[in-house]
């Protein structure tokens, strides 16, 4: 049938059946046969091919762009918008080196978005070069491009540059404010100053002369900042403010943010109240509630909530179990953690990964069951990594097991020496072994380890601490 489709039938299939993946090549061939080179239809083909999980088929999107025969910014923008982020960056660099095409504000916006979706040292460098091109070509006044720059810098952990772009913008939209606030609240390095900056910026947004109002995305980001700081009073005020602009019971993301905030601020009754009032819950909602209960030592109640997920048509995933098992570690819930680990595959159908095994080793080690933790590692069906061994070594130091600690310390140093050709040696294993020797007052061995560190020019990382006082105006 497809072999005799006229031009209009090809167009009809492209627009009416977006999931027609099995016949897309035949439609493509008919478009070529009929000499159809409409930019709109070729852009639709690019979207179809780029969305395919088959990499070979996805590569056909490049061929469609080349088929047009001459540089075209609309097709090029469609291509870099639809392909994978790394491919988008590579295509842009190659086309830029040819210097045959004019890049508009959409081009810079899409490629910056690709750099944001694939954060790394290399993409940060590429994004900065694109920022320079934006300045050079005079696209800085475009609010969408500048907002994407904020998003790009924030995703690549350059929060200072993101704020500089934000401050230099003469006009901002709600998306701009959300990008900056989300950037602050997502910057979780143990330093609460970024969460405080998110709250301060939210206060500025409320009194800004432009009159831009917070959206649901704004509320979710600010709730994340409040949960990081444990500011229950501010969180309760924000909850009241949220009720004025939306219904948390009907917004799964806002509701989940409230559950997470109340749980991390220690108010489990409020978290449970919001949780059960929600008309819709996703996997993140259930994970936030069960993790909050487990962190506060409510292991049995957390398991009861977890078992109810199936009745609501929600299946826990790997992240759910990682979060729950980690909470059991910090809450000392050995029995509950072991029970859940045993039921991961048999009851929930989730195969344990290395991170789940690591949680169990940490759980047993923290509770002083060092022999059980060691035996558990030896029975693992997958090879343990250095993180698991270091976790057990740390437990040996806490519980004063010098014999096992010395054995593990020497083993980790052997692994360290084997990897020196590829990675720079770290100080943590040497320091851990030195501390084990010091615990048993073997000062000669302590000196030997320190001399070895000095000979290899391995420096111990200095510790630091900070005290920060924050205040927040009532909303």
Residue 394 contacts residue 365 (beta carbons within 8 Å): yes
C-alpha span between 205 and 415 (Å, rounded): 52
Distance from the Cα of residue 57 to its chain's centroid: 28
Is 187 within 8 Å of 154 (Cβ atoms)?
yes
Q: Are 154 and 179 in contact (CB under 8 A)?
A: yes
pLDDT tens-digit readout, 267-297: 999 999 999 999 989 999 999 998 888 888 8
The answer to whether residue 10 scores a pLDDT higher than 60 is: no
Could you tell me how far CA 51 lies from the centroid of its own chain?
Answer: 22
pLDDT at residue 418 in the model: 65
Query: Which among 123, 140, 122 is positioned nearest to 131, based on CA atoms?
Result: 140
For tokens 């927040």, the residue is 472
Chain center to CA of 436: 36
Q: What does the pLDDT read at residue 171? A: 92
Q: Directed axis angle between helix 39-50 and helix 7-16, to 10°?
A: 40
CA-based radius of gyration for the chain: 28
Three-state DSSP state, 142:
coil
Determine contact, residues 360/337, Cβ cutoff 8 Å.
yes
Q: How far apart are CA 304 and CA 160, in angstroms?
A: 44
pLDDT in tens, 100-126: 778 888 999 999 999 999 898 889 999
At 264, is the pLDDT very low, low, confident or very high (cuts 50, 70, 90)?
A: very high
Q: Is the pLDDT of residue 67 over 70?
A: no
DSSP 285-331: HHHHHHHHHHHTT-HHHHHHHHHTTGGGT----HHHHHHHHHHHHHH
CB–CB of 375/342 below 8 Å?
no
Per-residue pLDDT at 294: 84
Return the pLDDT at 422.
Answer: 46
Mean pLDDT confidence for 218-245: 93
Residue 347: count other Cβ atoms within 10 Å of its Cβ.
13
Has residue 257 got a pLDDT over 60? yes
- Count of CA atoms in the C-beta half-sphere (13 A) of 264: 18
DSSP 249: T
Q: Is the pLDDT assigned to residue 61 strictly greater than 80? A: no
Could you tell me what percent of the chain has a pLDDT over 70?
Answer: 81
Backbone angles phi, psi at 234, to 5 degrees: -65, -40
Helix spans in 174-297 (H): 174-186, 193-207, 216-229, 232-245, 252-264, 268-277, 283-295
Residue-wise pLDDT tens digits, 171-196: 999 999 999 999 999 987 666 889 99
- Convert the pLDDT of each residue in 409-467 to its tens digit: 888 877 766 665 444 456 677 777 788 788 777 787 778 878 877 776 666 665 555 45
Q: How far apart are CA 258 and CA 235, in angstroms?
A: 8
If DSSP codes are grouped into helix, strand and coil, which group holds residue 408? helix
Q: What tokens appear for 335 in the block?
A: 């029995």
């Amino acid at each position: 049938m497809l072999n005799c489709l006229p031009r209009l039938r090809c167009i009809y299939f492209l627009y009416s059946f977006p999931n027609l993946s099995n016949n897309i090549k035949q439609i493509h061939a008919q478009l070529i046969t009929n000499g159809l080179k409409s930019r709109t239809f070729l852009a639709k083909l690019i979207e179809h091919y780029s969305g395919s999980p088959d990499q070979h088929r996805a590569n056909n999107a490049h061929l469609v762009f080349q088929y047009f025969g001459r540089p075209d910014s609309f097709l090029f923008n469609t291509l870099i918008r639809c392909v994978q982020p790394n491919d988008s960056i590579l295509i842009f660099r190659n086309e830029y080196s040819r210097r045959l095409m004019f890049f508009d504000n959409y081009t810079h916006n899409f490629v910056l978005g690709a750099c944001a979706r694939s954060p790394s040292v290399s993409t940060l460098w590429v994004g900065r070069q694109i920022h320079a091109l934006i300045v050079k070509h005079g696209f800085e006044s475009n609010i969408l491009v500048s907002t994407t720059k904020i998003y790009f810098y924030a995703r690549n952990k350059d929060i200072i540059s993101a704020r500089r772009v934000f401050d230099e913008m003469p006009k901002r939209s709600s998306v701009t404010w959300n990008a900056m606030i989300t950037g602050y609240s997502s910057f979780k390095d143990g330093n609460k100053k970024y969460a405080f900056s998110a709250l301060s910026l939210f206060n500025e947004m409320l009194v800004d002369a432009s009159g831009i109002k917070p959206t649901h995305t704004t509320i979710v980001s600010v709730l994340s900042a409040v949960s990081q700081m444990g500011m229950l009073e501010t969180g309760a005020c924000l909850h009241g403010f949220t009720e004025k602009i939306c219904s948390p019971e009907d917004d799964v993301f806002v509701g989940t943010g409230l559950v997470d905030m109340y749980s991390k601020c220690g108010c489990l009754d409020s978290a449970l109240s919001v949780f059960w009032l929600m008309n819709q819950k996703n996997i993140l909602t259930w994970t936030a509630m069960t993790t909050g209960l487990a962190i506060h030592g409510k292991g049995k109640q957390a398991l009861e909530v977890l078992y109810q997920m199936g009745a609501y048509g929600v299946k826990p995933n790997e992240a759910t179990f990682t979060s729950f098992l980690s909470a059991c570690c910090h809450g000392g819930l050995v029995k509950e953690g072991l029970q859940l680990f045993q039921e991961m595959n048999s009851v929930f159908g989730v195969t344990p990964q290395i991170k789940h095994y690591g949680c169990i080793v940490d759980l047993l080690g923290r509770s002083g069951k060092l022999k059980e933790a060691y035996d558990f590692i030896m029975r693992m069906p997958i090879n343990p990594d250095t993180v698991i061994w270091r976790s057990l070594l740390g437990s040996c130091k806490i519980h004063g097991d010098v014999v096992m600690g010395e054995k593990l310390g020497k083993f980790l140093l052997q692994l360290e020496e084997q990897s020196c050709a590829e990675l720079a040696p770290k100080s943590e294993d040497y320091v851990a072994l030195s501390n084990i020797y010091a615990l048993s007052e073997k000062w000669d061995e302590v000196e030997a380890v320190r001399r070895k560190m000095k000979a290899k020019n391995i420096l111990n990382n200095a510790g630091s601490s900070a005290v920060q006082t924050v205040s927040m105006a009532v909303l």
